Amino acid sequence: MIGTAANAYKHQNQGGIAMGKTIAITGASSGIGLATAMKLAENEWTVYAGTRNVERDQAQYTGVANLHFVEMEVTDPASLQRAFDRIHEEQGKLDVLFCNAGYGYLRALGQAEFTEIQAVFDTNVYGVMHTIRAALPLLQKAESGHLIATSSVGGLVGQPLNEIYCASKFAVEGLLESLATYYKPAFNIDVTLLEPGAIATHFVDTVMGHVGRTGGILEDEYKPIITKYIEGFQSRNTVPQTAESVAEVVWELLHMDVKPLRIRTSEAAEAFVRYKTEKDATGLEGMQNTRKLQLNLE
């Protein structure tokens, strides 16, 4: 079941959107990105799935029509430009850009090496910026474009020992909320932040694997805090949301006449951020107020 913000808009478009649309997805070799790529390819979308290992992924999914793996290293603007040049040559436009590449990081600010902090921001924040910059001309060529980025409930609610990850997602929230104030009236491009909670993907395994590779749970003043956090996380998320169910939320989002600025992907995610979102669940009211105040646009 999707979150309240999604339910609020679900009824607005039962007719669906035209098939034959084109989407580019970063971080599409696994998890939410791959599940979304598969869902859309199976429904006649042309999908450019970003990966670091094109040969491996294309061979694994060679039987899936409409699914094209392409190198998209979001920390390398040249890699992104090559990908979007190919899309321009083959499609002439891009209907949807889904900035999904990102990774988690579980260390206290007082523990983290600066090179690790920089790496988180290089992918989670600057990677989103690089991708949007490269894709924007193609989105502008579409009749109606849509920019989606995977944020997190951690982009709305700060959490212990997640301060670096949360800071990166707060930055993505600020970036897309700002773009939303003028992308729609100026370029007819909708902007949406996808805000999942705990997901049953390799994401959590990657985070904990990094902790293990960098000394495990350190014997310092943060150990009692991180131990409680991990225990609580595991007890609260015994049945995490699947990547496939998030892909269904994306599918429904693409069919909405009025695209929300923010959309949670589960009731659990909705409940977690409720105290920050209950007055403006979709984010549209606040964004439209800013648009009117600063640009005199309705």
Best CA proximity match to 40, nearest among 70, 64, 10, 71: 64
Distance CA 192, CA 263 (A): 7
Cβ pair 91, 38 in contact under 8 A: no
* Residues designated as active site: 165
Provide φ and ψ at 8, rounded to 5°.
-65, -25
Q: DSSP for 187-252?
A: H-EEEEEEE--SBSSHHHHHHHHHHHHTTSS-SSTTHHHHHHHHHHHHHHTSSPBPHHHHHHHHHH
Total residues belonging to the chain: 298
Cβ pair 30, 14 in contact under 8 A: no
